[in-house]
Amino acid sequence: MKFGSKICATALIGLGLTAGGASAQGIEVVRYLSQETDPAVVRIQREWVKGFIEANPGTDIVLESAPAGVINQRIATYVQAGAPLDVVHSDPGTAARLAVEGLLAPLDDVVEALGGRDSFLTNRLLIVNDHVYAINQAATSPQLFYRKDLFEAAGIAPPSTWAEVRAAAEALHSDDVIGIALAGGENRMTTIMAGTMLWQNCHDFFDGELNVILDNPKAVEAAAHYADLLKFSAPDAAAWAFNEPPESFWSGRAAMVIHWHALDLMMRQNPDMVKNIGIAPVTANKMRATQTGGRYVALFANSPTLDTGKDWIEYIFTPKNAADLTGMSPLLYPPATSAAMEALRSSDAPTVASYGDLLFNTVYPAAVDGYSEILHAGGLDTETCELRSTGVVNPFTSVVWNSNLYARAVQKIAYEGEDPAKAVAEAARLLTDQVEQARAEMK
């Protein structure tokens, strides 16, 4: 046999073996791109996979984890490469943009199978043109966590207004204790926290027509307040992002922290400290507003395994599976449906036993102050300072949360002493440019 023929034959045999192996298996594989990296929660996800495969022979679920800050890049890489994606666990802004760009598959039948839209709690479904495109699996709102011992020793009551938080932070701040563990880096954590203060001050990034309205005295006042609070954060807060504030809090260094699930993490890291922690709703200024964040489960329209992907989403939202997740991390993954909320009340999960009263009396009721700027653009009335449902999906919030321009304005005020009005005006100008560019790029 000639040399060239030998190579061709070898290649053909190789190809034949590969193709034969693949077709012999005949398994429908669904990739689940999740932003969950917490080992305890990943363990639950693995249990789900095991149960799903047992219940659905001929299927397989491949778990792929990407941390919260990286998942957008992973999704974008798939899209740019033209590679099909299946189920993703996206942040709210990205989910909204993907839905508006027509990249997601409708999940109406999944929602029907789970009891219909009415069975879901407020702000759980991403609806565009009357179709559900994503389900919020972690509709959480940040709370104010504080150390009871430090507050009692100083004779300070849990703060409920901006002025009280500042006074408490100043009173408790010392060489050994940080008054309030706040991130000051140019990142999403700072943007979210400063954005929450923007809402509390009765203003917003966008109006109902999705125009940027950041260049406003109320936005300046909120940024200046955040920058002022950073005086009572850590000396290296300028480099802090998501992890440092809760780490500082559960290590015992900070008196207060604003966070989503600090107590869930503490329950595992430092359980003895849990009884020493109090939770108060985030503070109010002109209004009490907090972010309804979350992680949206969605299915890509170009998935080659649409039906199995839908089956998988339905499976992870069934009451039993949802309860397992909530029991492990009740502050991060509150129940998605009323039935699941009731089931949690009778749960014997250690988290519920340890701080169930805080969950049911403080954390979950705070959802009434939760603002979903993704699902209800223009829903924060800047005249009356009230929250209302508009149903206008905003695909541009991802620009706010990724460009971190408002965080940069806070940094300039806090660390460079820049005039707050000038810093916010510059952020507003750049944000407008980027939103207009995104608008032009969208279909």
Partner 1 sequence: MGLSIAEAKRRAVPPPFNRRKTMTTDRKIGLLLLLPLVVLVLGLTVYPIVQVISLAFQQQSLYSPESTFVGLANFNAVVSHEGFTRSVSNTFVFTFGSLALQMAMGLPIALLLNKEFPLRSPIRGVMLFSYLVPYVVAAMTWKFMFSDATGILNYWVRALSLPMPASPFGSLDWAMAGVIFVNSWKNFPFMVIVFLAQLQTIDRQLYEAASVDGATAWQQFYKITLPSLLPIMLVVGMLRTIWNFNNFEVVFLLTQGGPIGRTETLPLYIYRFVFGEFSLGRGAALAVIVFFVLLIMSAIYWRLYERTQERFK
Question: Which residues are near partner 1 by CB under 8 A?
Answer: 3-4, 7, 72-73, 75-76, 79-80, 82, 97-98, 101, 103, 175, 178, 184-187, 234-241, 244, 247-248, 251, 253-254, 398-399, 402-404, 408, 411-412, 415-416, 426, 430, 434, 437-438, 440-443
Closer CB to partner 1, 76 or 153, in the complex: 76
**Virtual torsion, Cα 274, 277, 280, 281, nearest 10 deg:** -50
* Contact assessment for residue 218 and residue 163, using Cβ atoms and an 8 Å cutoff: no
Cα–Cα distance measured from residue 141 to residue 123, given in angstroms and rounded to the nearest whole number: 12
- The distance of closest approach from Cβ of residue 253 to partner 1 in the complex, given in angstroms and rounded to an integer, is 5
* Contact assessment for residue 337 and residue 114, using Cβ atoms and an 8 Å cutoff: yes
- The distance of closest approach from Cβ of residue 333 to partner 1 in the complex, given in angstroms and rounded to an integer, is 26
Closer CB to partner 1, 188 or 225, in the complex: 188
Closer CB to partner 1, 4 or 21, in the complex: 4
61: tokens are 């679920």
366: tokens are 């705070």
**Widest CA span in the chain:** 93
77: tokens are 């890489």
- The distance of closest approach from Cβ of residue 234 to partner 1 in the complex, given in angstroms and rounded to an integer, is 4
- The distance of closest approach from Cβ of residue 35 to partner 1 in the complex, given in angstroms and rounded to an integer, is 15
Closer CB to partner 1, 186 or 264, in the complex: 186
100: tokens are 């508006």
- The distance of closest approach from Cβ of residue 228 to partner 1 in the complex, given in angstroms and rounded to an integer, is 17
User: Strand pairing partners for 88?
Assistant: 33, 298
Closest C-alpha to 98, from 117, 124, 121, 72: 72
Cα–Cα distance measured from residue 50 to residue 63, given in angstroms and rounded to the nearest whole number: 11
Closer CB to partner 1, 117 or 253, in the complex: 253
Amino acid at residue number 155: G
Cα–Cα distance measured from residue 242 to residue 255, given in angstroms and rounded to the nearest whole number: 17
Cα–Cα distance measured from residue 88 to residue 80, given in angstroms and rounded to the nearest whole number: 16
- The distance of closest approach from Cβ of residue 382 to partner 1 in the complex, given in angstroms and rounded to an integer, is 26
Closer CB to partner 1, 185 or 335, in the complex: 185
Q: How many CB atoms lie within 10 A of CB 2?
A: 7
Task: Report the SS3 class of residue 33.
Answer: strand
DSSP state of 26: -
- Helices 405-416 & 188-200, crossing angle to 10 degrees? 90
Closer CB to partner 1, 27 or 70, in the complex: 70
Strands 59-65 and 256-259: unpaired
Closer CB to partner 1, 21 or 82, in the complex: 82
- The distance of closest approach from Cβ of residue 265 to partner 1 in the complex, given in angstroms and rounded to an integer, is 14
- The distance of closest approach from Cβ of residue 302 to partner 1 in the complex, given in angstroms and rounded to an integer, is 11
Q: DSSP E strands: which ranges in 71-168? A: 87-90, 125-128, 131-136, 143-147
- The distance of closest approach from Cβ of residue 403 to partner 1 in the complex, given in angstroms and rounded to an integer, is 5
Cα 326 to its chain centre, rounded Å, is 15
- The distance of closest approach from Cβ of residue 283 to partner 1 in the complex, given in angstroms and rounded to an integer, is 23
Closer CB to partner 1, 47 or 419, in the complex: 419
Q: Which residues contact 354 (CB under 8 A, 6 or more apart)?
A: 267, 271, 274, 275
Closer CB to partner 1, 27 or 239, in the complex: 239
